[in-house]
Amino acid sequence: MTDLILRAAGLDRSFGGIHAINDVTLEIPRGSLHAVIGPNGSGKTTLFNLITGHTRPDAGRVEFDGHDITGMSYAKVARKGLAKSYQITTVFPLLTVFENVRIAAQTATHSYVFWRPADGITSVVRHTEEVLERIGLAHERETVAGNLSHGDQRRLDLAIALATSPRLLLLDEPTAGMSPTETDATIELVRELNRDLTILMIEHKMDVILSIAERITVLHQGETLFEGDPEAVKAHPEVQEVYLTGSL
C-alpha cells in the first residue's frame, strides 16, 4: 500500500450557484511533488482551502497523515504539520526578514513543545537562521520585509511556511509575478525542498509544472479532468485543448 501523507476524497464546495469543487479526490504519497493545474477559476485555490481548513467542504473527507482533519481550523491543521504559502503575500512589511521568520518559528514551536525560556529562544533563533540559510535569504536578514524585491518577498513567504517545520507544504503559485530568472531560482528551491518534504503546489506556468512535478492533477470547472505524470498530461488531447492551447 502506498504511504499517503494526504488523502482528500469526494470533496465538494459551492458558493451560491457556483460549484467551485465537484467531487474531487486527491491522493498524495509521502515525499512526492504533486501539482494542481487548471485555467482561472477552475477551483485550484478553493481545493487548497478545503485541505487547509480555510474553507469547510459541503461534502467529502480530508485525511492528513492518517488523521481526519475535515472541517478543522487552519490553526489546528497547521499545528499538525501542514503549512501553506499563499498566493497573496502575508509577510509583516514593517518587520525585518529575520523577525518575520522568527515569529513563525516561535508560534509553531510553542504550540507543542514546552521549552525553558532560555533554551526556547536559542533554539528558535537557530532554527530561524537555518531556514533563512536554506531559502537563500540569510544575506537579507536585517532588511525590512516591505523593502525586498518581489521575488525575495515570495521567498520570505516560503521561509515563513518552512519555519513551522511542516511535513506537507502547499504552495499556491510560488512563481506568480516573478521574472524568468526568479522563476528558475524558485523552481530550483522547490526541488531542493522536496528532498525531504512533500510538496503540493498550484502553478499556472505550464513549463514550470512539466519540468518539476512528478504527478499532475488537472482541474477544469471544479472537476478533475485528468491526473497523470507530466508526459501523460502533455499527451492528453483534452488537457491540450482546455489548457495548453489557452482556449480556456
Ligand X SMILES: Nc1ncnc2c1ncn2[C@@H]1O[C@H](COP(=O)(O)OP(=O)(O)OP(=O)(O)O)[C@@H](O)[C@H]1O
Could you list the residues that contact ligand X (CB under 6 A)? 15, 18, 20, 38, 40-46
Number of neighbours of residue 98 by Cβ within 10 angstroms: 20
Instruction: Give whichever of 41 and 136 is closer to ligand X, judged by the CB atom.
Output: 41
- Which phi and psi angles does 218 have, rounded to 5°? -105, 120
Residue nearer to ligand X on the CB measure, 20 or 162? 20
Query: With respect to ligand X, which residue has the nearer C-beta, 126 or 150?
Result: 150
CB of residue 11 vs ligand X: minimum separation in angstroms? 12
Helix, strand, coil abundance in the chain, percent, nearest 5? 40, 25, 30
Whichever of 38 and 166 has its CB closer to ligand X, that residue is 38
Cell numbers 513567504 label which residue? 157
Among ligand X, Mg ion, none, what does residue 15 contact (CB within 5–8 Å per kind)?
Answer: ligand X
CB 214, CB 231: distance < 8 Å: no
Per DSSP, 121 falls in state: H
**Min separation Cβ 38 and ligand X, Å:** 5
Residue 42's binding partner out of Mg ion, ligand X, none, with CB under 5 to 8 Å set by partner kind = ligand X
Q: How far is the CB of 40 from Mg ion (least distance, A)?
A: 8
Contacts (Cβ under 8 Å, ≥6 apart) of 142: 96, 97, 98
Q: How far is the CB of 247 from ligand X (least distance, A)?
A: 16
Nearest to 28 by CA among 45, 41, 47, 14: 47
Could you tell me the three cell numbers for 136? Answer: 537563500
Q: Which is nearer to Mg ion, 131 or 190 (CB)?
A: 190
Q: What is the H or E stretch that residue 120 is in?
A: helix 117-135
Cell numbers given for 34: 504533486
> Is the Cβ of residue 45 or residue 194 nearer to Mg ion in the bound state?
45
102 binds, among Mg ion, ligand X, none (CB under 5 to 8 A by kind): none
- Closest approach, Cβ 14 to ligand X, in A, equals 9
Instruction: For residues 110 and 228, give the distance between their C-alpha atoms in angstroms, rounded to a whole number.
Output: 40
Shortest distance, position 172 Cβ to ligand X, whole Å = 8
Name the one range near Mg ion by CB under 5 A: 36-44, 97-105, 110-118, 212-220. 36-44
The answer to whether 45 contacts Mg ion (rule: CB under 5 A) is yes
d(CA 210, CA 200): 14
Judged by the rule CB under 5 A, the positions of this chain that interact with Mg ion are 44-45
